[in-house]
Amino acid sequence: MLKESGSRLGQDLYRRALFLASMISHPGRVGAVWPTSHRAVRDLLDMEDLSRASIVVEFGTGTGVYTEEILRRLGPDGVFLAFEVDERLAQAVARRLPDPRLTVINDSAENVELYLSGRKADAVVSSLPFTTLPAGLKEEILLAARDALRPGGSLLVLQYSKRILPDLERLFGRVRQRFSPLNVPPALLFACEKFGEDA
């Protein structure tokens, strides 16, 4: 038990060190001073039933906190594409979570269509800091997320400000909100359903 706890602590410290290094390397693309809590991740993912999803996409894999929980929920035949611009983080997550359902992609989220090869995702999960991204890039990524989804599919977003809400309401049909107070800082959660005739 002590050995297992020590191993978990070591992994946690390593992930936090990687997170801080990424924050220094990409300050505009890391929106928090600390990795998202497991509770906030669960709260966000509870807003959609991922067990029935055929394809899930993640924008901003980071240290893999979301990635790990998505894999727990994804069905055995699910496909999971996880995007991360920081090469060190992408490699670390791919090594730590060897799973045939998971492909970690060292590329920016707005290029998602290149990797879907004509398929559509049931859900896109994003923790990207939209309020600190350049306006043009933010719009590109939100449009890419919408275009990547099947009609009725959902974009799940964790943010620390409501400033993204008008953009989400403009681009998606229905936006549900939740609050996760135990995260540092407290997190705002959004589930955005794509418009579509088949929705």
State which H helix or E strand residue 140 sits in.
helix 135-148
Q: How many domains does the chain have?
A: 1
For all residues of the chain together, what is the average pLDDT? Answer: 88
Residue 199 lies in a domain: no
pLDDT > 70 fraction of the chain, expressed in percent and rounded: 81
Residue 37 lies in a domain: yes
State which H helix or E strand residue 95 sits in.
helix 87-96
Q: 72: closest CA among 99, 103, 54?
A: 99
Residue 134 lies in a domain: yes
> Has residue 31 got a pLDDT over 60?
no
Q: How many CA atoms lie within 13 A of 105 on its CB side?
A: 19
| C-alpha 23 chain-centroid distance | 16
Q: Which two tokens stand for residue 106?
A: 């060292």
Residue 198 lies in a domain: no
Mean pLDDT across 45-53: 98
Distance CA 3, CA 10 (A): 10
Distance CA 77, CA 94 (A): 19
Residue 181 lies in a domain: yes
- The pTM assigned to this predicted structure is 0.84
Domain holding 83, by residue range, is 2-193
Output the domain CATH number for residue 100.
3.40.50.150
Residue 48 lies in a domain: yes
Q: What is the pLDDT at residue 92?
A: 97
Distance CA 143, CA 185 (A): 27
Q: What is the pLDDT at residue 184?
A: 86
Under the banding of pLDDT at 50, 70 and 90, the label for residue 110 is: very high
State which H helix or E strand residue 94 sits in.
helix 87-96
